[in-house]
Chains A and B, each alone.
Chain A
């Protein structure tokens, strides 16, 4: 397409392509935000107690001080909307964005599209630590005890996997994935041991963890998780350009001024932070971190700045939709969210794999 242009036009062609790309990104961002707003309104209205759209909008308007539109007509409408549904939706947004950004950052750090927090054991490590906190009744930090344990568990497990898969200053991706499998197996055993040791209530809590659910998300939980997520996303975004350079390989990234080891360790901590923040109250929600960045990359291209922002929005959208399905698909039942994302995400990932093989010769 550019071949027919005379050579001096090259300098002009680049900015035009750049403008086109920017427009596409703007459309994508607008679409994702609109989708998220629509999904939030639909999710807010659906459930055992159906609240019509105009009542939701009216309720929101009243909350921000505008005296327009009708309030929910059902006596428990207002309470359900704000204290059950919106808190849950907010949690879905935070968790979805965190997991997708963690996945995208992880893939960038290891230069491999197969890297995902759960592949290298962050989720299971966080689950073991949180399980231990539940079983042994650790309350050293009040409301923050479980997230703190989950965070430390996730961080220690990731660093362990990273250290084990590293030799001679290089990280072999295959070794990394295999180490992750080994560490996941041990974590699974430890979790089983904790369930064996715990009482019925603790056991139930752990099962809830592994299935993953946003049931019972309260605003206080959102208040605990959201700051961690915000810090993680901001650091990941600040590292976006370095992640782009890292795609050239460790040596070339270093030649361009990136301190590769420091960047890796920083981002692994960020991934642990985001994942632990996400799973601390909701359990293991698989495949969001793996599939969402892939899908987004197909549209945005590999540049990490747009990839991370769009992944955060797309992850939030996916999780709000998934959670709405989880709690409305079967009446009076809350399906486990993690089960749902895996059920859909697994085959979807397989499709992505086949598609990439066809179009780009596969992932080496």
Chain B
């Protein structure tokens, strides 16, 4: 099994006349958490949708395990990769435990089906959602929905995890535990892609980051190499400071508010 699980080759995509992705080459590797970061509208979610096979690129190709996505059967693909979308909706009042169990659907009729109960229970414990099991998904809070959906993706037990803002609407403790779990999956051999807005979180949990800007991968590499104050300030069009935590040595990415505060004072 090669180290590359998922790769895009020269992917270009436009919505009408607006180019969203411009010749993106990206490798998603096993044993690694790759964070997609960038300002709003940079193409992060679109890139994730292309990786998931939801959107077909205008030109270029996406390969899962070396095979183009178009050649995969949907069900076989569902056993290889799980996707957590930004939106967590449901049409009928299914209880949260049933929603998590839906993650087992691709394994129906296979020997792995025997692990259903175990996978569901384990995923719900890991995401701190066991006590939500009996409640209708539609009545959960935003953060609870996010965790339940993450549990569904975990229960799917796939080698590739595509997570679109898994920390949105989560409190700080759950943000940490979700990303810790994503990293733990990668250490067991999974390839994890995670779209993040919080750059400090990305610096702390990702092995590699890809910084997107106007549909292009502007920089790619270890967080310490990509997250430099001049580059981030340019891409986000806002002064940004990158500091090292005095005790832990972690990277901290913070907005530099001096110019803004000075303007307020003179006004």
Q: Give me the interface of A with B, judged by CB distance under 8 Å.
A: 1-3, 7, 10-11, 13-15, 17, 108, 111-113, 241, 244-249, 251-252, 254-259, 297, 301-303, 360
The distance from the CB of B69 to the nearest CB of chain A, in whole angstroms, is 12
Q: Does B39 contact A (CB under 8 A)?
A: no
Measured in the bound complex, the distance between the Cα atoms of B28 and A349 in whole Å is 52
Q: How far is the CA of A259 from the CA of B78 in the complex (A)?
A: 11
Nearest B residue to A12 via CB reads B121
Name which residue of chain A comes closest to B136, CB basis: A360
**Across-interface contacts of B94 in A (CB, < 8 A):** 244, 247, 301-303
Task: Pick from B77, B85, B121: contact of A251, CB below 8 A.
Answer: B85
- Chain A neighbourhood of B210, CB < 8 A: none
Contact A14 B52 (CB under 8 A): no
Complex-state Cα separation, A302 to B52, whole angstroms: 28
In the complex, the answer to whether B74 meets A245 with C-beta atoms within 8 Å is no
Query: Which residue in B106, B117, B118 is a CB contact (below 8 Å) of A256?
Result: B106
What is the bound-complex CA distance between A2 and B125, given in angstroms?
13
Known interface pairs A244-B102, A256-B103, A303-B98; A14-B156 also in contact (CB < 8 Å) = no
Chain A CB within 8 A of B140 CB = no
Q: Which residues of B contact A302 (CB under 8 A)?
A: 92-94
Task: Report A-chain residues with C-beta under 8 Å of the C-beta of B91.
Answer: 111-113, 246-247, 249
Question: Bound complex: CA of A241 vs CA of B138, how far in Å?
Answer: 19
CB distance from B106 to the nearest CB of A (A): 5
Interchain Cβ contacts under 8 Å between A and B, 12 examples:
A3-B131, A10-B124, A244-B94, A245-B102, A247-B92, A248-B99, A248-B102, A249-B85, A255-B83, A256-B102, A257-B79, A301-B95
Residues of A within 8 A of B120 (CB): 14
Residue numbers in A under 8 Å from B106 (CB-CB): 256-257
Does B133 belong to the interface (CB within 8 Å)?
yes
The listed residue (B78, B105, B117, B130) touching A241 by CB distance below 8 A is: B105
Q: B225: CB under 8 A from chain A?
A: no
Residues of B contacting A248 in the complex (Cβ-Cβ under 8 angstroms): 89-90, 99, 102
Q: Considering the chains assembled together, what is the distance between the CA atoms of A301 and B52 in angstroms? A: 31
B136 to chain A, nearest CB (A): 8
The chain A residue with its CB closest to the CB of B89 is A249
Contacts of B79 in A (CB 8 A): 257
Interface residues, chain B, with chain A CB atoms under 8 Å away: 52-54, 74-79, 81-83, 85, 87, 89-95, 97-99, 102-103, 105-106, 108, 117-118, 120-121, 124-125, 130-131, 133-134, 136, 138-139, 156
| Contacts between the two chains (Cβ within 8 Å), count | 98
User: Closest 5 A-B residue pairs measured CB to CB?
Assistant: A111-B91, A302-B92, A257-B78, A257-B75, A11-B121
Taking CB atoms, residues of chain A closer than 8 Å to B102 are 244-245, 248, 256
Closest CB-CB distance, A60 to chain B, in whole Å? 40
Give chain A residues whose Cβ lies under 8 Å from the Cβ of B117.
11, 14-15
Given contacts A245-B102, A257-B74, contact A10 B121 (CB under 8 A): yes
Q: Do A7 and B92 form a contact, CB below 8 Å, given A244-B102, A256-B102, A258-B74? A: no
A2-B130, A257-B77 given; 4 more Cβ-contact pairs under 8 Å: A247-B91, A247-B92, A251-B83, A258-B105
- In the complex, the chain B residue whose C-beta lies closest to that of A262 is B74
Q: Is the CB of B105 within 8 A of A245?
A: yes
Question: In chain A, what residue has the closest Cβ to B153?
Answer: A255
* C-alpha spacing A254/B82, complex, angstroms: 10
Interchain nearest-CB distance for B50 vs A (Å): 13
Contact residues in B for A10 (Cβ distance below 8 Å): 121, 124-125, 130, 133
Asked whether A255 lies within 8 Å of B93 as measured between CB atoms, the reply is no
Which residue of chain B is the closest to A303 with respect to CB atoms? Answer: B98
Least CB distance, A306 to chain B, in whole angstroms? 12
Residues of chain A contacted by B95 (CB below 8 angstroms): 301
CB distance from B125 to the nearest CB of A (A): 6
Give the residues in chain B near A7, CB-CB below 8 Å. Answer: 125, 130
Please state if A255 and B131 are interface contacts (CB–CB under 8 Å).
no
B133→A2 contact, CB < 8 A: yes
Chain B residue contacts of A112, Cβ below 8 A: 91
Asked whether B133 lies within 8 Å of A11 as measured between CB atoms, the reply is no
Min C-beta distance of A121 to chain B, whole Å: 21
Q: Are A14 and B121 in contact (CB under 8 A)?
A: yes
Separation of A277 and B134 alpha carbons in the complex (Å): 39
Tell me the complex Cα distance, A10–B81, Å: 26
**A241-B108 in contact given A7-B130, A251-B85, A252-B83 (Cβ < 8 Å):** yes
